[in-house]
Each structure stands twice: as structure tokens, then as C-alpha cells.
Structure 1
Amino acid sequence: MPPRVRDAEASRRRILTAATAEFAAHGIAGARMDRVAAEAASAKERIYAYYGNKDALFDAVFTETIRQILDTVHFDATDLPGYAGRMFDYFTDHPDAQRLTTWYRLERPAGHALAAVVEANRTRLDALATAALTTDFSPVELLTLVQAMASAWGTMNPEFAEAAATSDRQSRRRAVVEAVGRLVT
């Protein structure tokens, strides 16, 4: 029987996939490396060898999440309603991405800056600063409001979410796009 060949890249992908689900469900503090290892069919020692520690693994997961969002949701400073609609779609289709973003904000309010986040913010703010928009909001204010509206439906408390369930996805998306449109007109 030939010796078993390790595929380090496949192992890293399995670990990231398992860690994404674990961090989305439990946050950084609640995540358990033994659950990640079991789900990834990997030894915990491999996780530490590849990523160093739980915080570094979260950073890798969140960086990959940001890259996926940026690759999927095109930012266009001249079409903020369209951008908000695409962000709404992404977070609706990928609730783990929104949960990871929430955990990042909750558990890393003053942590070290992740390069992917810094770059995403800089790129969007620079684009807003040079766009010819008819609004009294600064680029920072505008991006904050657009992102908040695009993600609002996924951040409701369960009691309100039940009341809002009478509104279908298409209606919620339309409300987001229309509200952002009003910001820039």
C-alpha cells in the first residue's frame, strides 16, 4: 500500500470551511477548536500549525469572508442604491457572512486592523470622495448609512423579525434600494 499523501491546501480549505461555520455560530470566544478539527476531519495540531491560534484562524476566516464579499458585490459609488441591493442579496444569501461581521465588531472593537477591512474601507471611501453625488453626507456618513440599510433586515431581534416576516424578500430589497436612493437625491 502506498504511503498516504497529505494535501495541505485541501486540509486548509476544510479547516477554513469548518471554522467559518463555527465562528459564525459561536463567535470568537465561544468557538471551540476541537469542533473545528472534528468537522474538518483534521487534527487540532494541524490547525495550530497552519494558523497559530484561534484569533489568527478567525482573522483568516474573516479576511476570506471580506474577499468573497468584495468579489461578489461590486461597489459603485455612482450607483449606491444598486450596491445596497447587492449587499442585501449577499447577506440574505450568506447569513454566516453577516454573523461573522457582527462577531468581528462585537469581539474586536479595538483589536488590530485587518488589512482586508482597511483596504475595503479605503477603496470605498476614496470612490465616494471623488464621486459627483448630490448629498450633504460625508463619505464616511454615507457609507455607514448605506451599509446599515443593506444589512438591517439581518440584524433584527427575533420578536421584530417575526412581525417583519409579513414582508417578502423582494419587498425588503426594494425598501433598501429606495431608501438608499433617497439618501443621494
Structure 2
Amino acid sequence: MGATRDPEATKARIFAAASDEFAAHGIAGARVDRIAREAKANKQLIYAYFGNKAELFSQVLEKRLMELAVAIPVDAEDPDGWIDRLVDYHAAHPDLIRLVFWEGLEYGSGGIPHEQERKDHYARKIAAFTEAQEKGVISDAIPAQDLLFMMIALASWSTVQPQMRRIVVGDTDEDQDRLRASLRAAARRLTRA
């Protein structure tokens, strides 16, 4: 009896291979034949499931961002703890930030696929910061959307620029602990009520 096909398992292998490929090479540099080979899937099957390489990238990135949102829900009432958890997540999953930066390099300031869904996702995070500001838990000196943007930058930059982190901050465990404490302090200062 022949092996049965499992479309969900195949899609999962494609997503994993595509995530690695896109993180390493971006949208333009990624190759569907390498993704197919790593996923042990037919190249035509990838196109049948996802349409084209850009759509595959978009779906991979959206899935990875949703994994982050589930793992580290926004916590506007504990900004330094939230920053700490984000830094840990990005350190454990540096490919996610690479995907986000590749998206920025590829699309620039123009629109991205499924942009409205992404705006809706971040609108919920902005609302959490707005609510914390309205309750007086955090400062309203910085508009909620700007504050969220700055907090994301604080949490992700050392993962995006590991060479600059090493050159400027240092690379010992003590250096990393000091930086972590500084990031928490910066989050507190940005949000202090």
C-alpha cells in the first residue's frame, strides 16, 4: 500500500524550510527550488499552495509574528518586563527579526502584502498602551503608537545588529546583563507615569 499524503505536514515542512530560506536570503535571494528540496516537497506544490514566492514569504512572516504575539502578549502595564521577554524571544528566534528586516528592505516604505491585517494586529497592541496611559499606569507623554514603535525597536535592535552590539556594548555575559538592565531602565523611563 502506498504512503498517504498529509497536506498539513507538507505545508508545515514548507513553512519551516521557507522561514530558514527567507531569513538567510530575503525575498529576492530566496529560491523556491531550495525550499522544495529542504521541505522534501514538489516545487509545483509550493506554487499550488501559496501562489508565488512573495505570497509564501508574506504567509511565513505573518505566521511567525502570530507565534510571537501568542508567546509574548503585549503587557503595557509591565513595560520593562515585556521588553525583557521580547529580548529573550528575539535572542532565541533571531530569524524572525531577520524576516521583518528583509521585508523592510524589499518593500521599503511602500505597501506590504496583507498590510491591513498587520495594521489591525498592531492596533490591538496600541490600544493596550492607550488603555494603560488612560488608567495612569504609564505616562502619556509619548503617543501610544510611537511608544509601541520605540519599545519594539529597543527589544529587537541588538538581535538585528549583533556586530554593533559586540563592538559598542561588548560580548561578555556581564556586558549582556548590563545591556539587558539598561533596556529595562529605558523602558521604565519611556513609560514612567
Greater mean deviation of Cα atoms: 101-110 or 8-17 = 101-110
Q: TM-score, normalised by structure 1?
A: 0.92
Note the alpha carbon deviations across 1:27-50, whole angstroms, 9 max, x for none.
Answer: 001000010000001110110111
Partner of 1:184: 191
Q: What are the ranges of 5 or more consecutive residues in structure 1 without an aligned counterpart?
A: none
- Deviation of 1:108 after TM superposition, in Å, equals 2.3
Structure 1 counterpart of 2:2, one-letter code: P
Q: Structure 1 pair 53/7, CA: closer, same or farther in 2 (3 Å)?
A: same
Q: Which residue of 2 aligns with 1:54?
A: 53
Asked whether 1:174 is paired with 2:181, we answer yes
Q: Alignment partner of 2:74: what SS?
A: coil
Question: For the structure 1 residues 122 and 12, does the alpha-carbon distance in structure 2 shift closer, same or farther, using more than 3 Å as the test?
Answer: same
SS in 1 for 2:142: coil
1:143/1:167 Cα in 2 relative to 1: closer, same or farther (>3 Å)?
farther
Map of 1:15 onto structure 2: 14
Q: Distance in 2 between matches of 1:5 and 1:11?
A: 12
Runs (4+) of structure 1 exceeding 4 A deviation are none
User: Which range moved further: 105-114 or 34-43?
Assistant: 105-114
What does 1:32-111 align with in structure 2 at a 5 Å threshold?
Answer: 32-109=31-108, 110=110, 111=112
Is 1:156 paired with 2:156? Answer: no
Residue in 2 aligned with 1:112? 113
- Verify the 8 A CA contact 2:158 2:165 in the aligned structure 1: no
Task: List per-residue Cα deviations over 1:132-165 (Å, max 9, x = no partner).
Answer: 2224100121111111111121122635534433
**TM-score (norm. length: structure 2):** 0.88
Q: Is the 8 A contact 1:22 1:31 kept in 2?
A: yes
Contact residue 55 and residue 113 of structure 2 kept, 8 A? no
SS at match of 1:78: coil
How far is the alpha carbon of 1:173 from its aligned partner? 1.9
Distance in 2 (alpha carbons) for counterparts of 1:87 and 1:154: 11
Point out where structure 2 has 5 or more consecutive residues left out of the alignment: none
* CA 1:173–1:159: 2 relative to 1, 3 Å: closer
Give deviations 1:55-106, integer Å, cap 9, x for gaps. Answer: 1100110011111100111211111111111111110110001101111222
Please point out which of 126, 134, 142 is paired with 1:137.
142
Say how many residue pairs are matched: 184
Secondary structure of the corresponding residue to residue 3 of structure 1: coil
**How far apart, CA to CA, are the structure 1 residues paired with 2:73 and 2:10?**
30
Q: Cα distance, 1:167 vs. partner?
A: 4.5
Decide whether aligned partners of structure 1 residues 19 and 138 sit closer, same or farther in structure 2, where only a CA change above 3 A counts.
Answer: same
Deviating more after overlay: 132-141 vs 30-39: 132-141
